[in-house]
Chains A and B, each alone.
Chain A
Amino acid sequence: MTAKLKLFRIRGGVHPDDRKALAAEQPIEDLPMPALLHIPLQQHIGAAANPVVQRRQPVLKGELIAHAQGAVSAPIHAPTSGHIVGLGLYPANHPSGLNVRTVTLQPDGEDRWHPDVAGVDDPFALEPDVIARRVAAAGVVGMGGATFPSAVKLNLRNRHSLHTLVINGSECEPYLTCDDRLMREEPDGVLDGARIIAHALGVGRIIIGVEGNKPQAIAALQQAAASFEHIQVVRLPMRYPMGSEKHLVQTLTGKETPARGLTADIGVVVHNPATAFAVHEALRLGRPLISRVVAVTGQAITRPRNLRVPIGTKVEDLIEHCGGFSEEPAKLISGGPMMGQPLAELRVPIMKGSNGVLALTAAETNARQAAPCIRCASCVGACPCGLVPLTMAAHIRSGDLDGAVGQGLMDCIGCGSCAYVCPAHIPLVQYFNHAKGELAARGRAKQKQTETKRLAEARAARIEAQKQAKREAMARRKREAEAKKRAEAVPDVVQAD
């Protein structure tokens, strides 16, 4: 169905140069299997997965190598067949580049699937719980970058009255083209995944939102959705951060998600198209999430490409496949330029949430020394959350973090629109991240203090109780001894009488 949907205006936002032309016309290409895969155990929000394999153990493609731990977690599977050659520490795909627990797999080149990998014929005959369990077992996480375990979101129906599933195909970050390509090349798979998710959520309506700069993706999805009454493909206005799920839902429904809440509070669940495709593969083919499409782009990349990459592939393998750097990049980023993270080094692995590898030239980053704030209010106009970034930054700069919280720091989604438009080039997001991190550390310290105090008090009480018990025991023994003495003495008295 392609009926027009009335769209609602969101506040603020910016119009960055989208630079998608660099890679948008490159079809998804399979990256040749690298020599080694470094598969981190923490690729998702929540608890790290727990390895179930041992060194030198052979594994088959799709075999479980680490299982989920706790309610919010995701299992991890072997991206190909081969041998486990290491269970240890390896640099993380994180700005810190710190070592994290990682399984190293040496592919045997045969790429043989595990025999248990098998799909179901009719996912729509399954109970919602069964779908959620299968999605959980396939290790599917939010592939737009947030990496929240998808199965947890499928269970939202237990707590919320839901009516709509939104597939967030806005891909509002400049440069990134992986969702665009997937929607163009696999529209049926994306749609099938969306229908399975909608079935699991028990919602009757699906809206697929795609920004207007992806006309081919919109056309492909519209064609695929033509026979489904309850699926709408919507052309979204081009404005960053259209892909912020709360803002996307507002654009589509006119409703704002309450502060500190979820879109589910207003009856909507949002998933990424790549996630929908992963759900489709998990249910129809039984395949766990072991590879993903990554946009390798930026003007410092010789041949920008969209690559299907096994999880655990080193970033440098991707760049090498794209012909290396055409010039020394000024900035290497994992993700998009607006919210992505700097890459600490090139040997870090691609993870489930890695949607892009960008190598930007100095002209593209347009970085400058920060100047004093002239209160021009560009940031106020750009903030999609109605905050006053310049005031929050002023509070943080003077060390007044509570003041910044009072100004709404915790309602900041970190989209970077403010810093993007700042004529003084003030790193506003840096201030906000610093403050959020510091507040989190303070919170932990306070919790630790409270816990320590509680334990100390409990210990004091315990010791006191022990002392009390000892005193009572002593008193009792004394009484007994005296009583015994008296008992022994009585006959004497009697005798004396």
Chain B
Amino acid sequence: MNQPLSASPHAHAPVSIGRMMALVIMALLPATLFGLYQFGWPAIFLFTVTVGATVGCEALALIVAGKPVRVTLMDGSALLTGWLLALTLPPWAPWWVGVVGGALAVLLGKQVFGGIGQNLFNPAMVARVTLLISFPLEMTRWVMPQPMFSGDAPGFLEGIAITFGGQTYDAFTGASILGHVRTELGRGEHLDAALSGIFDPLSALLGTVPGSLGETSAVLLAAGGLWLIARRVIGWEIPGALVGTIALLATAMHLIDPAHYAPAPFHILAGGTMLAAFFIATDPVTSPVSRQGQLLFGAGVGLLIYVIRTWGGYPEGVAFAVLLMNAATPMIDHYLKPRIYGRDRRGKPLEYPELSPKGSER
């Protein structure tokens, strides 16, 4: 009997990276299907192209790097990156936005750092921010929901024309809630006027509003996220701290000046808050590892989202907030660590003065 030497443990929990990614994708499925249904064929094409480009670029990078292609692709991480990126894009954006975004995410966001687990920044958010800065027009053109098979929804061929043919769709465009409120406030309007007619908490909750492909339905995203927490794929710390911080800040500011600062439900339901809280800020690679670190990280993302949305130059701040806190992750991990068993917070062995050992031998 000859067996290779190996260290304990000799049994292993039924877990793998591929399984983790699969669970995350399953959690995203309801919101994704809803988004695809709501924005119709152009959204389906953009989603497919974005995911395809991301996985294709990953394969290319793996071949160039001489790493195993099939096994690495099977871990599902590139698929998830492309998926998340597609969900944050304007649903009727042209195909090349998805391709450029996919390439940016995998090549610039991940593979240049050495591949899975090595990247400092969230790949999907790297792509999203680069696209937003490079193509501000395409990245901020939103459409009113046109559910599949409804009267005005583009058909298959029209969808092809919109995604791949550059066909304009001005008749369908509408401002996102965040963008609209920002513009109106900028014009000196009061919040009540800015919100009237566009922000209805129920539609924002369900997602029947203009917005990114998969970001609109707060309730479906939250349901998926809570399921992931229940399955222990993600912790409650980052989503909890993120949403809690936004709620706290928004409520406080709204109480101080209700005319200019939107209440908490607005900030939590609109834009990418839910997607960020449960699926983007919780990316394990780019977030801290200790519970305390994750709480700080989540709170930091929430704070930055609120600050950018309220006082910054962009109506939406999720991607910037996540990237900024990604940059802080190594430092957070350095300073915030769990307390080691039998030691105090500073690393000194615990002392029990009341239990002094007998005699002076020790």
Binding site for B on A (CB under 8 A): 11, 14, 16-17, 95, 158-161, 174, 246-247, 255-261, 265-267, 331-333, 337-343, 345-346, 358, 360, 364-369, 371-378, 380-381, 383-388, 390-391, 408, 411, 414, 416, 419-425, 427, 429-430, 433
Contact = CB atoms under 8 A, between A and B. Distances in A.
B81 to A, nearest CB: 12
5 contacts: A14-B13, A337-B11, A339-B9, A342-B10, A366-B12
Given A374-B285, A425-B16, A255 B8 contact: no
A161 B340 contact: no
B342 A16 contact: no
A372 B115 contact: yes
Contacts of A337: 8-11
Contacts of A267: 355
Given A331-B6, A385-B340, 11 more contacts: A259-B349, A265-B355, A367-B12, A373-B117, A377-B288, A414-B8, A420-B12, A420-B13, A423-B17, A424-B17, A429-B9
Interface string B330-354: 0001000111111100010111100
Contacts of B341: 11, 246-247, 256, 259, 384-386, 411
B1 interface: yes
B359 interface: yes
Interface string B2-37: 110111111111111101100000000000000000
A371 B8 contact: no
Contact of A161 (B9, B17, B343, B355): B355
Given A161-B357, A258-B350, A341 B340 contact: no
Interface string B120-152: 000000000000000000000000000000000
The A interface is mostly helix, strand or loop, or mixed, namely loop
Interface residues of B, number: 54
B290 A374 contact: no
Contacts of A331: 3, 6, 10
Contacts of A372: 115-118
B312 interface: no
Contacts of A425: 12, 16
Contact of B342 (A159, A259, A368, A380): A259
A374 B342 contact: no
B17 A386 contact: no
B284 interface: yes
Given A332-B3, A338-B8, A388-B337, A421 B289 contact: no
B358 A416 contact: no
Contact of A421 (B2, B15, B75, B358): B15
Contacts of B349: 258-261
B70 interface: no
Nearest to A380: B289
A471 B3 CA distance: 67
B20 A364 contact: no
Contacts of A430: 6-7
Nearest to A428: B7
A265 to B, nearest CB: 7
A368 B290 contact: no
Contacts of B287: 375
Contacts of B2: 345
A375 B284 contact: yes
B290 A423 contact: no
